[in-house]
């Protein structure tokens, strides 16, 4: 299977080894873990195994596999065309040397990582894809997709940077262009009926993640931040229906824990909200360092977190036989996402306030990937927001390497000393 996909077998085996021991250290050493996390352990153990086989089986049935790197790509449209939507590998310091042959060194770790995975032949997902969908969020990604297209067909969605009426119209027209592209590629019509079904599937997935996030308001916290992050990461590439069912079961277990006042850490453990850049698999460095030092993360104001899951497609009052009206609602839903590339972007500050208050965070850790200008810039406004809330905020700027772990740990420990 791997040779057919064109992976570098030796390097891939090395990656799997590292990932395995990394996962053991960060995940399997946790105590009081919910039993429902066994499903996630299984998914991770098969991340480059069974799930890839499933994708290849789908392809064999004539279905398309379409990859994406960003929240602005509407899964509903892909699913409506009976395609499989997968989030692509971008969370490890891998293939950096190859990536730096085509990209400037001062490029963020996420972009270098998706290039590295592709150029080093290490991501079976990107190889299994028929094409990938990029988007004009930050300048780095926008320009990187031009180059990426030389290695893998990349369809780029134009994401405007304001939410003006003209920008809103542009975004809606981009949704139309995507529908045409997906219909042509999949050889299937996207109808009102199959859109409705896809919306139901994706709304259910987002709703179960919303339920999980609400349960984390309890003290003691019923689940660690690491595990919650992992669930959000897996949401990008697992089968959505199976995932929703399994996470629903996990939430039942967590509900029982909350009722019994049980948790992963004692009541009164310092509680932290993470806010900022996405953490793609296996980017677990900061959450691990935070929780290893005696705190619990109670929310992710992040692309891999509530930014990606908080809004459902709202079909209230819509004519369910009107495909364009349904697409309007999809466009509206995605245009609510508060990515830092938008200006102004006050919704993000509002969400940090809401999440901190709702899940009782004693402090905010603002996480930005080095060279990610939009989030690094927004750290300033977040500091003001935190001051207004009278809780401390720690700004962290890092990449995917592990070399700065001791320095990060010192800052994190000092920050936790402040909120204890």
Q: Is 378 in the site for another protein (CB under 8 A)?
A: no
Taking the complex as a whole, the smallest distance from the CB of residue 399 to another protein amounts, in Å, to: 10
Q: How far apart are CA 111 and CA 136, in angstroms?
A: 13
Q: Is 57 in the site for another protein (CB under 8 A)?
A: no
Segment contacting another protein by CB under 8 A, of 87-95, 137-145, 171-179, 406-414: 406-414
> Omega of the bond prior to 282 within 30 degrees of 0, cis?
yes
Residue indicated by tokens 């040397």: 97
Task: Give, for 398, the enclosing helix (H) or strand (E).
Answer: strand 393-398
Which segments within 25-136 are labelled E, that is strand? 65-68, 84-87, 131-135
Q: Is 411 in the site for another protein (CB under 8 A)?
A: yes
Q: What are the start-end ranges of the H helices in 260-300? A: 285-292
Q: Which residue, 248 or 392, is less far from another protein as judged by CB?
A: 392
Residues 256-315 that bind another protein (CB under 8 A): none
Question: Which residues, including other chains, have CB under 8 Å from residue 284's CB and lie 6 or more apart?
Answer: 22, 26, 27, 226, 229, 230
Question: Which residues, including other chains, have CB under 8 Å from residue 81's CB and lie 6 or more apart?
Answer: 64, 182, 183, 185, 186, 188, 190, 194
> Which residues, in sequence order, are bridge partners of residue 84?
65
Segment contacting another protein by CB under 8 A, of 2-10, 19-27, 122-130, 404-412: 404-412
- To the nearest 10 degrees (0 to 180), the angle between helices 225-234 and 192-215 is 170
Segment contacting another protein by CB under 8 A, of 276-284, 315-323, 353-361, 408-416: 408-416
Task: Give, for 97, the enclosing helix (H) or strand (E).
Answer: helix 96-102
Sheet containing 154-157: which strands, arranged edge to edge?
84-87, 65-68, 131-135, 154-157
Residue indicated by tokens 């089968």: 239
Taking the complex as a whole, the smallest distance from the CB of residue 418 to another protein amounts, in Å, to: 5
Intra-chain end-to-end CA distance of the chain, in Å: 51
Q: Is 406 in the site for another protein (CB under 8 A)?
A: yes
Q: Which residue, 142 or 413, is less far from another protein as judged by CB?
A: 413
Q: Is 417 in the site for another protein (CB under 8 A)?
A: yes
Binds another protein (CB under 8 A): choice among 101, 164, 184, 410: 410
Q: Is 404 in the site for another protein (CB under 8 A)?
A: yes
Q: Which residue, 281 or 386, is less far from another protein as judged by CB?
A: 386
Q: How far apart are CA 127 and CA 166, in angstroms?
A: 37
Q: Which residue, 127 or 397, is less far from another protein as judged by CB?
A: 397
Q: Which residue, 174 or 397, is less far from another protein as judged by CB?
A: 397
Q: Which residue, 65 or 277, is less far from another protein as judged by CB?
A: 277
Taking the complex as a whole, the smallest distance from the CB of residue 413 to another protein amounts, in Å, to: 5
Q: Is 397 in the site for another protein (CB under 8 A)?
A: yes
Segment contacting another protein by CB under 8 A, of 120-128, 130-138, 328-336, 400-408: 400-408
Binds another protein (CB under 8 A): choice among 32, 373, 392, 405: 392
With the CA atoms of 347, 351, 354 and 359 taken in that order, what torsion angle do they form, in degrees rounded to the nearest 10?
180
Q: Is 384 in the site for another protein (CB under 8 A)?
A: no
Question: Applying CB under 8 A, what is the total number of residues that bind another protein?
Answer: 11
Taking the complex as a whole, the smallest distance from the CB of residue 410 to another protein amounts, in Å, to: 6
Taking the complex as a whole, the smallest distance from the CB of residue 78 to another protein amounts, in Å, to: 40
Q: Which residues form the interface with another protein (CB under 8 A)? A: 392, 397, 404, 406-407, 410-411, 413-414, 417-418
């Amino acid at each position: 299977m791997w040779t057919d996909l064109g992976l570098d077998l030796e390097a891939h085996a090395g990656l799997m080894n590292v990932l395995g021991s990394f996962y053991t250290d960060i995940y399997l050493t946790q105590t009081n873990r919910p039993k429902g996390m066994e499903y996630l352990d299984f998914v991770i153990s098969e991340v480059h195994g069974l799930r890839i086989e499933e994708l290849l089986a789908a392809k064999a049935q004539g279905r398309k596999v379409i990859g994406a790197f960003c929240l602005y790509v509407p899964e509903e449209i892909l699913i409506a065309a009976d395609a499989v939507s997968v989030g692509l590998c971008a969370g490890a310091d891998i293939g950096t040397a190859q990536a730096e042959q085509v990209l400037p060194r001062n490029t963020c770790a996420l972009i270098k990582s998706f290039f590295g995975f592709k150029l080093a032949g290490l991501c079976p997902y990107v190889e299994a894809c028929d094409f990938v969908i990029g988007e004009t969020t930050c300048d780095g990604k926008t320009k990187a997709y031009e180059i990426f297209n030389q290695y893998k067909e990349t369809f780029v969605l134009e994401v405007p940077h304001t939410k003006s009426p003209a920008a809103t119209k542009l975004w809606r027209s981009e949704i139309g262009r995507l529908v045409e592209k997906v219909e042509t590629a999949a050889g299937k019509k996207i109808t009102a009926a199959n859109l409705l079904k896809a919306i139901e599937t994706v709304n259910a997935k987002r709703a179960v993640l919303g339920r999980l996030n609400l349960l984390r308001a309890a003290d003691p916290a019923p689940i660690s931040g690491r595990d919650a992050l992992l669930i959000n990461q897996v949401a990008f590439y697992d089968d959505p229906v199976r995932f929703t069912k399994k996470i629903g079961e996990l939430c039942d277990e967590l509900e029982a824990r909350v009722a019994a006042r049980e948790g992963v850490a004692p009541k009164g453990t310092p509680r932290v909200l993470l806010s900022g850049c996405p953490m793609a698999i296996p980017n677990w460095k900061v959450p691990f360092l935070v929780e290893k030092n005696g705190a619990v993360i109670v929310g992710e104001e992040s692309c891999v977190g509530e930014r990606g899951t908080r809004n459902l497609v709202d079909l209230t009052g819509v004519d369910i036989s009107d495909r364009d009206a349904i697409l309007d609602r999809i466009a509206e839903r995605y245009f609510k996402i508060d990515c830092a590339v938008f200006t102004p972007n006050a919704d993000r500050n509002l969400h940090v306030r809401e999440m901190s208050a709702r899940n009782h965070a004693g402090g905010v850790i603002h996480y930005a990937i080095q060279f990610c200008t939009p989030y690094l810039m927004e750290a300033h406004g977040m500091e003001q927001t935190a001051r207004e809330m009278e809780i401390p905020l720690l700004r962290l700027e890092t990449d995917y390497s592990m070399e700065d772990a001791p320095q990060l740990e010192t800052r994190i420990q000092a920050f936790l000393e402040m909120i204890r």
